[in-house]
Amino acid sequence: MESTPQTTTPSRPGTASDDLAVPEHDQRWPGWVYAAGDDPDYRFSFANERTFLAWIRTALSLLAAGVALNHIELTISPAVQSTLTSILVLLGILCAVASWWRWARAERAMRRHERLPALPIALLLAAAVGLIGTVVLTLA
Amino acid sequence: MDLAQSGLQAERTALSWQRTALSLAVATGAWERLSHPQLGAVADAVTVVLALLIGWVFLGSRCRYHRAISQSRRPRPSSEGAPVLLALVTVVLGLGILADLALLRR
């Protein structure tokens, strides 16, 4: 099913393929992403967009998990419970910021044919969620 | 352009936006439950604004997808403003939840 990605599509003047042409002055925002390089295969841009959306859903889930943890009755002390809740919500906020930052840097790297950036937040997120889950399981 | 290749890319991305809209609805509902006792009508007003945004994300992605396939042209990623708006709304929602939790503790 997967085939070699097409990087260019021939554009003929006066035909329906005109909209494929890359504009001379790219007005898209943010400028630091679109100012240099050329448009990658559009499927890669779509994949980048879907990865961004997956991170945003993770951020929203962390916010919802924080609210849920605040609501449920646990035998742990209220101070610990509210600390864990705050950590989850803060992680959600950090995750939302990182998701856009990752999307922009990946798009920029693809346009310039550079290597894709790494995302250190993934390790932090996995460690924090694992730790919070363990604390709730053992203390509650 | 192979229709299956281009169509599926746009469709998968549109579905991803729709899943995100549903997640945003869940997070908005959670925030509303937390805020309503303290903020009352203000919480309701913010929820209405967020509901409109959720509708825009959901229906906008559907419209973009249908427009792309009906015009049989290469679909375009919906980058630019939409991702940063969505990320900002998520951050503001998170800050709202933190503020609610701080108020509840007092």
Encoded tokens for A82: 């509210």
Q: What was the ipTM of the complex prediction?
A: 0.90
Q: Any idea which of A42-46, A63-67, B1-5 has the lowest mean pLDDT? A: B1-5
Task: Identify the pLDDT of residue B73.
Answer: 66
Which residue, A36, A28, A139, A126, is CA-closest to A83? A139
Note whether B9 contacts A43, CB cutoff 8 Å.
yes
Ramachandran bin of A21, using left for φ above 0, alpha for ψ from -120 to 50, beta for the remaining angles: beta
Task: Kindly report each contact of residues A17-21 with a partner whose C-beta sits within 8 Å and lies 24 or more positions away, as own/partner.
Answer: A17/B73, A19/B73, A19/B74, A20/B73, A20/B74
Number of domains in chain B: 1
Q: Are the beta carbons of B33 and A67 separated by less than 8 Å?
A: yes
Condensed to tens digits (0 to 9), the pLDDT of residues A49-60 reads 999 999 999 999
The reported pTM is 0.86
* Cis bond upstream, residue B75 (ω within 30): no
Q: What is the pLDDT of residues A75-112, one digit of tens each?
A: 889 999 999 999 999 999 999 999 999 999 999 999 99
Which of A56, A61, A99, A111 should we substitute to test contact with B (largest number of B Cβ atoms within 10 Å)?
A: A56
Q: A102: which 2 tokens?
A: 């990752």
The residue of B6, B15, B23 whose CB has the most chain A CBs within 10 angstroms, and thus the best one to mutate to test that interface, is B23
Query: What is the rounded distance in angstroms from the CA atom of residue A136 to the CA atom of residue B69?
Result: 48
Backbone angles phi, psi at A78, to 5 degrees: -55, -30
Quote the domain boundaries for residue B45: 3-105
